[in-house]
A and B are shown apart, each in its own frame.
Chain A
Amino acid sequence: SAVISQKPSRDICQRGTSLTIQCQVDSQVTMMFWYRQQPGQSLTLIATANQGSEATYESGFVIDKFPISRPNLTFSTLTVSNMSPEDSSIYLCSVEIASIGGYTFGSGTRLTVV
């Protein structure tokens, strides 16, 4: 099954700054997904990262706040811009495992904004 490397694993950031999270997959995948998990909550999809085109954002999430890059079929980044304490969450990338048709997650980035 696919192995996803996500970094950083955690960070504490000052409000108003930006953090870029990286997700590297050991095989080529068509779509990569970015989720947010607020403390004690479920997973909410932020956007779908497509190679060669702009990301598709879910309702409530905008490109200016969460710009995404997808330069190739194995890598994506999510930036959390102009952070506020409300952005404190775990951010996870996810890809589909072609061999079984299921979805696996990166190890997550625990972000704390102070």
Chain B
Amino acid sequence: GENVEQHPSTLSVQEGDSAVIKCTYSDSASNYFPWYKQELGKRPQLIIDIRSNVGEKKDQRIAVTLNKTAKHFSLHITETQPEDSAVYFCAAFSGNTPLVFGKGTRLSVIA
């Protein structure tokens, strides 16, 4: 089955700097890669996703890149703000099995 590895487990950045979180997946049939943000005590919220037919997608300060050959995808947050502090989860989906999540990255943006 699918296995998703996520790095780093914790990340601290200064406000205004960029943050990058990386994930790798094992199932070459996976074709959908969402990213979730989970604030303390709240449900995971979908913030951006990418499908295997594109290499990059951007939404304001957030972007996701996908390298199908290497089976890895990354989340990029630019101009970070304190409200970006949360736990971020990547996930992969092949259509044959439900979403498989990475272990999460705790991002701290220091003002």
Contacts and interface: CB of A to CB of B under 8 A. Distances in A.
Interface of A: 31, 33, 41-45, 48, 92, 94, 101-108
Given A42-B89, A42-B104, A103 B99 contact: yes
A45 B43 contact: no
Classify chain B's interface size: 10 to 19
Contacts of B32: 101
Contacts of A43: 44, 89, 101
Instruction: Tell me if A's interface is mostly helix, strand, loop or mixed.
Output: strand
B32 to A, nearest CB: 7
Contacts of A41: 103-104
Given A103-B46, A107-B42, 16 more contacts: A31-B98, A41-B103, A41-B104, A42-B89, A42-B101, A42-B102, A43-B44, A43-B89, A43-B101, A45-B99, A92-B43, A94-B99, A101-B32, A101-B51, A105-B43, A108-B43
B56 to A, nearest CB: 18
A36 B33 CA distance: 20
B98 A48 contact: yes
B41 to A, nearest CB: 8
Contact of A102 (B46, B98, B100, B103): B46
